[in-house]
Amino acid sequence: MVYTRTIYITRVFSDSEVRVEVIKKDDLIRKAGDLRVLPFVARKVLETLNDENCSIDDLSDIIENDQTLAARVLKISNSALYGLRHEVTGLRQAILLLGFKTIRSLVLSVSTRALYKKFGMTEKIIWEHSVGAAIAAKMIAGGLGSSELGEAAFVGGLMHDIGKVVLNNETPDVFAEVMMKIYNDGVDSIVAEEEVYGYNHVEIGAGVVGKWGFSPLLVKIIENHHRTDYKTDDIKEPLTLSSIACVNLADHVCKALGIGYRNRDETLVLHELPSAVFLKVPAGKLETLVKDINDTYTKEKSIFD
């Protein structure tokens, strides 16, 4: 498969060069950071959960106002990702069994899909990779025994490339040039973006999600998901560092499996990655986990569409 797209780009000509005219980073973050970009129900859920007096009924009533969203939240609640022993038939039951933080994660995962203004080849690639990373990050975190880490990793995996969504939504023709560099020429995404824009999706994603008022933890995950050093002193909170490592490893697992990529990357030695070493995931366990992630993604990916 070769990535192709008709590109119409405004170019600025000078005596010595031809370059692409792109929006400035701060202007793009300011424009995309408007909270109204988020679906209404997602905004209301975030606002409600920030209220310490929020009740199960308050949260359930908001979600039930969008029957499509409510149905999808229940569908994901009953998936293999959560492994509940009995079928969940109502939102109040789901909130009781899974808790506020998990329901928030599910609402955000369902609502994120609406951030894609259209759905062609570019959007399909980014969405499949994001879903794969969310599933992989949650399953990696699941082996570490922390439900809080599992939810942080899940949302972090789903949102780690939100900067690419913003770039594609706001500057589709310019971003098409980036995609061709990545998928046709094998250029790393950060390198390709900086060549074309002068900045990258990590900077945009962290800036926009911060403007939306999401948790500082999610901002840190997005900001650091390409991190290779887990021994530095700039991030002292263990949950934050473990969440970043889970998402980084999940991102590489998706590359190894070809989720959101043209081909599998068979050169990756996953257990030697700094994130895998930090999380203390041995080679044998990781090999089994990758197979389980692939099986779960294949089985469950449709519930996110």
Output the pLDDT for position 121.
87
Domain-embedded: residue 4: no
Torsional class of 251: left (φ above 0), alpha (ψ -120 to 50), beta (otherwise): alpha
Output the pLDDT for position 8.
35
Domain-embedded: residue 2: no
Asked which of 100, 115, 130 is the last residue of a domain, the reply is: 115
Report the predicted TM-score, pTM, of the whole model to 2 decimal places. Answer: 0.87
Q: For residue 19, list its beta bridge partners.
A: 12
Type of residue at 237: E
CB atoms within 10 A of CB 39: 19
- The C-alpha atoms of residue 100 and residue 106 are separated, in whole angstroms, by 10
How many domains would you assign to the chain? 2
Domain assignment of residue 218, given as a range: 11-32+118-304
Residues 205 and 255 in one domain: yes
CB atoms within 10 A of CB 9: 13
Give the pairing of strands 11-13 and 18-20: antiparallel
Rounded alpha-carbon distances, angstroms, from residue 4 to 116, 124, 195: 19, 14, 19
Residues 111 and 231 in one domain: no
- The C-alpha atoms of residue 114 and residue 97 are separated, in whole angstroms, by 26
Residues 164 and 67 in one domain: no
CATH code at position 289 = 1.10.3210.10
Residues 165 and 148 in one domain: yes
Residues 89 and 21 in one domain: no
- The C-alpha atoms of residue 189 and residue 194 are separated, in whole angstroms, by 9
Domain-embedded: residue 6: no
Instruction: Please classify residue 120 by burial: count the beta carbons closer than 10 Å to its beta carbon, then call 0-12 exposed, 13-18 middle and 19+ buried.
Output: exposed
CB crowding 244-261: b at 16 or more within 10 Å, else e: bbbbbbbbbbbbbbbbbb
Residues 239 and 296 in one domain: yes
Residues 98 and 167 in one domain: no
Residues 103 and 148 in one domain: no
Residues 122 and 202 in one domain: yes
Domain-embedded: residue 266: yes
Asked which of 115, 140, 165 is the last residue of a domain, the reply is: 115
Output the pLDDT for position 218.
93
Residues 141 and 79 in one domain: no
Residues 138 and 80 in one domain: no
Task: Collect the ranges in the chain with pLDDT lower than 70.
Answer: 1-21, 35-37
Asked which of 91, 115, 139 is the last residue of a domain, the reply is: 115
Domain-embedded: residue 1: no
Tokens for 181, please give them.
């560099």
Output the pLDDT for position 83.
81
Secondary element (H or E) of residue 274: helix 274-279
CA torsion sign for 129, 106, 138, 290 is negative
- The C-alpha atoms of residue 278 and residue 247 are separated, in whole angstroms, by 12
Domain-embedded: residue 3: no
Output the pLDDT for position 136.
97
CB atoms within 10 A of CB 14: 7
Residues 254 and 141 in one domain: yes
- The C-alpha atoms of residue 215 and residue 218 are separated, in whole angstroms, by 5
CB atoms within 10 A of CB 101: 15
Domain-embedded: residue 5: no
Domain-embedded: residue 195: yes
